[in-house]
Chain A
Amino acid sequence: MWEYSDKVREHFFNPRNSGPLEEANGIGDVGSIQCGDALRLMLKVDPETEIIQDAHFQTFGCGSAIASSSALTEIIKGMTLDQALEVSNQNIADYLDGLPPEKMHCSVMGREALQAAIANYRGEEWSDDHEEGALICKCFAIDAVMIEDVVKANNLNTVEEVTFYTKAGGGCAACHEGIEEILAKVKAERPGMGETSPPAVCPATPEAPKPPAKKLSIVEKIAKIQEVLESVRPMLQRDHGDVELADVQGKKIYVHLKGACSGCMMEAATLGGIQQKMIEALGELVQVLPSSHMPVEA
């Protein structure tokens, strides 16, 4: 059985705001019975102030789907619609003191229902671009569809690259066989791999994604590196960690991991995630390493 937090259990056993809401003027339906998850979120919005006066839900789903729905209604009551749109699935998971990785999609469904309900109130069309596949990486809750999309978009060839781009496989490494299967499948589907191509056309090293028009000066490069680090800091700080730049030596970027990040079992994956962003921002292949790996001055 899942390790649910006490908060999840409590919201499941005593869901808040369940059942139909007669005066609802914004309704969002997401999920489907095929997937085993379906959520209807009903909002009563004050047309003057756009404040959510009441929120109810009806959910077909597992314990965490019901708890996520309940949490969502509690979070958004009293918010304006614009404030509510800022609520992320992570906010829902945090409100419940976390969800198991296999169950994060329950919080995603909550956020989508919220977007759908607000769109419905505003008379807008809401379309979802989110497709979910089988869960591959349990450490970071990365599914097959996401890995496949990233592999295709970036022409990835190795498990290591997949980890840099998606984090998948950066934890316990048990899913590497699954990632290899996705890589093999995409490789087989790639155009140009058919009978007209000579064998082994695949480059040994991947192309750097979107190289910039001109080479960056060292100052520009450092500025970009700082920019990337700033962008990831809020995420790390939320987990009570932090990061700062230690040094740049050629293609090696050394960083200090601080607070909870230091010595965390996910350190390698955190660095992998930062490295992915660096590669995207700089348009070249770089390595992000902990400052402990810096060569000792002679």
Chain B
Amino acid sequence: MEPKPIYLDNNATTRVDPAVVEAMLPFFTEHFGNASSIHAFGSEVGKALKKARSQVQALLGAEHDSEIIFTSCGTESDSTAILSALKAQPERNTVITTNVEHPAILTLCDWLEKEGYIVHKLKVDKKGRIDMDEYKSLLHDRVAIVSAMWANNETGTIFPVEEMAELAAAKGIMFHTDAVQAVGKIPIDLKNTKIDMLSLSGHKLHAPKGIGVLYLRRGCRFRPLLRGGHQERGRRAGTENSASIVALGMACELAQQKMAVENTEVRRLRDKLEAGILSQITHCFPTGDVSNRLPNTSNIAFEYIEGEAILLLLNKVGIACSSGSACTSGSLEPSHVMRAMGIPYTAAHGTIRFSLSVYNTEEEVDRVIAAVPPIVAQLRKLSPYWTDKGPAANPEAAFAPTYA
């Protein structure tokens, strides 16, 4: 019998919790109404949306439920936040971000540069940490917005966004955080921060795909991305995705209940997995700031082998995770996060991200610890950078291609 597959790719997406599915299903059938309608079909939905909004508010620790704007995804929330800040403050032309952001931010910023805006991307050190002095030196009155992720999707490294927001606020600069990976995994209490805007995505915390939130602090100047109907108080037009909003509300409530488990049990399993792999395999190391990262994420670089090949062999034994290798993305360069941290190419192509959830078990972790070493050994045997005795003494010299 095929062993049950093990899903360790929860930073990519998560399974929808059965309780969440149950909560949303009636909104496809008996509660199909449009929340804007005056009749009973509509008002039932209206009440459900209100409840969901308060459930999201509670998880984020937002002061008002009207600060929660439902969107279609994290990317939409990110775009809305940055474009709003630029539109609302035409006298400010600069965006500060980091060079390890998600493409939802980086690709947008690249486009903004082409449009004539100035974008400063903060560099990170070997552990993926930003230099706060560099950050402080960039805060000036032409900066429209700072956007920094709360936690990195590849390494789980946590940025000091609360402190960064304080510094921005002191200079009168808006602060946005892409918290898609952080929400539901670490406690957040927005009312006690200076964060003006925050993006979250439902499918990263056991809600369905196609639903996101932009948190918008009351009083923060705003210009909508989508104009049309009065939905979300005119800040995001378009008929509400009621079933998914209800689902997200439920998922937020569950995440709050499981926050302690995430930070104890999930963390313990992640640590066991990482230690189990590192103790058995030479020439591999965890990436990112291991002392300050999400409790569910472990990103390990396996030197002299390539990530996609590792993933295919893991998949063959029923283990699902992801890689920062170039080959999994169709680009020629390994992950921009690994390059930003200066991970050598000999390792950057072989990075594997294990991301757990509350659904993972001890037995699964034990199976992964047993499965990884033979896969790494098998691929190293094929590698021209590896010999029977370990890595080729000088990999660059041992393998000197005719072209590079």
Interface residues of A (CB under 8 A from B): 1, 9, 12-13, 15, 18-19, 28-40, 58-66, 102-103, 112, 116, 126-128, 130, 132-135, 138
Q: Which one of B326, B345, B382 contacts A66 once the chains associate, using CB atoms below 8 Å? A: B382
Q: List 16 A-B contacts (CB under 8 A).
A: A9-B312, A29-B399, A29-B402, A30-B401, A31-B401, A34-B345, A36-B325, A59-B383, A61-B327, A62-B306, A62-B309, A63-B312, A116-B402, A127-B402, A128-B402, A132-B332
CA distance A38 to B383 in the complex (A): 8
Cβ contact within 8 Å between A33 and B400? no
Report B-chain residues with C-beta under 8 Å of the C-beta of A102: 330
Cβ contact within 8 Å between A13 and B316? yes
Report B-chain residues with C-beta under 8 Å of the C-beta of A31: 401
Secondary structure class of chain A's binding surface, majority of residues: mixed
Q: A60-B384, A65-B309, A66-B382 are in contact. List 4 more A-B contacts (CB 8 A).
A: A33-B385, A33-B396, A65-B306, A135-B332
Q: Which residue of A lies closest to B316 (CB)?
A: A13
Within 8 A of A (CB), among B354-404: 381-385, 395-396, 399-404
Cβ contact within 8 Å between B385 and A38? yes
Q: Which residue of B lies closest to A120 (CB)?
A: B402
Q: Which 9 A-B pairs have the closest CB atoms?
A: A62-B327, A62-B308, A58-B384, A32-B404, A102-B330, A128-B403, A36-B349, A29-B401, A40-B384
CA distance A32 to B403 in the complex (A): 8
Say how far B48's CB is from chain A's closest CB, in angstroms.
37
Given A39-B384, A60-B305, A63-B312: A33 in contact with B330 (beta carbons within 8 A): no
Q: Which residue of A lies closest to B388 (CB)?
A: A20
Report B-chain residues with C-beta under 8 Å of the C-beta of A63: 308-309, 312, 327
Task: Judge whether B331 is part of the interface by a CB distance below 8 angstroms.
Answer: yes
Which of the four size classes fits the interface of chain B?
Answer: 35 or more
Output the residue of B327, B331, B334 with the most chain A CB within 10 A: B327
CA distance A283 to B189 in the complex (A): 70
Report A-chain residues with C-beta under 8 Å of the C-beta of B331: 134-135
Task: Judge whether B346 is part of the interface by a CB distance below 8 angstroms.
Answer: yes
Task: Judge whether B304 is part of the interface by a CB distance below 8 angstroms.
Answer: yes
Report B-chain residues with C-beta under 8 Å of the C-beta of A103: 327
Report A-chain residues with C-beta under 8 Å of the C-beta of B395: 33
CA distance A133 to B332 in the complex (A): 8
Report A-chain residues with C-beta under 8 Å of the C-beta of B327: 36-37, 61-65, 103
Q: Which one of A64, A65, A127 contacts B403 once the chains associate, using CB atoms below 8 Å? A: A127
CA distance A122 to B51 in the complex (A): 77
Q: Which residue of A lies closest to B403 (CB)?
A: A128
Cβ contact within 8 Å between A18 and B349? no
Q: Which residue of B lies closest to A100 (CB)?
A: B330
CA distance A150 to B162 in the complex (A): 50
CA distance A18 to B382 in the complex (A): 6
